[in-house]
Amino acid sequence: MSVRIEDVATHAGVSTKTVSRVLNGNPSVRARLRTRIEASIRALNYVPNASARSLAGNRSYLVALLYDNPMSGSSYTMELIVGVLQACEGTPYNAVLHPFDAADDLAARIDGFVATHRPDALVLVPPHANNAALLQRLDELGVPYSTISSKLRQSRINVGFDERKAAAEIVAHLVALGHRRIGHVAGLQGHGARTWRLNGYRDALRKAGIAYDESLVVDGDFAFASGMAGARTLLDRPRPPTAIFAANDDMACGVMREAYARGLSIPGDLSVCGFDDTPASRLISPGLTTVHQPCRELGRVAVESVLQSIRDGAPPAPERVPYQVQWRASAAVPRNP
């Protein structure tokens, strides 16, 4: 059908094994020979057959991304996927995507998945990244994996960013603008993101000498509706906050909806901040001040780290990628501090 390794070997006047060595970056090939073989590969436009390679080498060259079944078009997952694909580019590896419902017992179903796809490595995102039983099973199966934003120590390779510091930075900015009563709509229990962002909020208050007022913190679940509900509770307080920091953008949008429903203007009557920098945070009016969650970077680094650990044997230390705060118009000096 097409060009095979044998054709390259003939063209270069060597054995197929030597071509194979070049293909796999085996260092024990003389430089001159390597150059000649590489020239033949280009000349014949040779591309190795992935199936034959996997079969003979007992490797799939597959990296599987396990994520939660995104109910709505989740830009988080999309960006992650983009990063994962970027990391695979230029390597012999390919990505396999697999949405898994968080409600399912993944620790039990993972065996079937691994048997079917035989991935060389896995990348897990929350909530799966926080599933201790799942990680343990993967350890038992001997499948290398990396996690993204996991809160478990158990994960040998984890990538994330300093969500706590980022949240503190947002809240410190609100303080600097003159806000003293700052509300917080917290994220879903069990997610690292909830704890880190809430802690960042508290850090900034403490640093500013503002007493923590638990009546200004309400629970949310990262969904729009819970942001609305949270704002309702906070704005009904005898002394309502002049600013609300929501643990993610979807909830911040809910806060804005509720504020508008009460005839409040943003940021005049109420400053609002979010977290994630989803597309909606740019599209909504006014633009939402938020933390850019570096999803692509996270996906890219997660893949690179786990592949490196396969190559080099030693698992690399957990990684931290940089983040950035997006200052937009939704936060301003309070009208009535």
Partner DNA sequence: TTGAAAGCGCTAACAA
Partner DNA sequence: TTGTTAGCGCTTTCAA
How far from 331 is each of 106, 109, 252, 261, 336, CA to CA, in Å? Answer: 41, 45, 12, 18, 14
Token representation of residue 25: 């970056």
Give the whole-angstrom CA distance, residue 218 versus residue 215. 7
Considering the complex, state which of residue 1 and residue 103 has its C-beta at the smaller distance from DNA.
1
Report in angstroms how near the CB of residue 37 gets to DNA at its nearest. 9
- The DSSP secondary-structure symbol of 211 reads P
Considering the complex, state which of residue 8 and residue 247 has its C-beta at the smaller distance from DNA.
8
> Using an 8 Å Cβ cutoff, are 245 and 201 in contact?
yes
- The DSSP secondary-structure symbol of 268 reads T
CA 259 from centroid of its chain's CA atoms = 30
Residue 336 as a binder of DNA (CB under 7 A): the answer is no
Report in angstroms how near the CB of residue 182 gets to DNA at its nearest. 58
Residue 23 as a binder of DNA (CB under 7 A): the answer is yes
Considering the complex, state which of residue 20 and residue 330 has its C-beta at the smaller distance from DNA.
20
Residue 29 as a binder of DNA (CB under 7 A): the answer is yes
Closest among 275, 211, 278 to 244, alpha carbons compared: 275
Residue of 49, 86, 94, 326 that binds DNA (CB under 7 A): 49
Residue of 25, 45, 58, 238 that binds DNA (CB under 7 A): 58
Considering the complex, state which of residue 132 and residue 261 has its C-beta at the smaller distance from a second copy.
261
> Using an 8 Å Cβ cutoff, are 247 and 171 in contact?
no
Considering the complex, state which of residue 39 and residue 283 has its C-beta at the smaller distance from a second copy.
283
For binding to DNA (CB under 7 A), which residues are involved? 1-2, 4-6, 14-21, 23-24, 28-30, 33, 46, 48-49, 52-53, 55-58
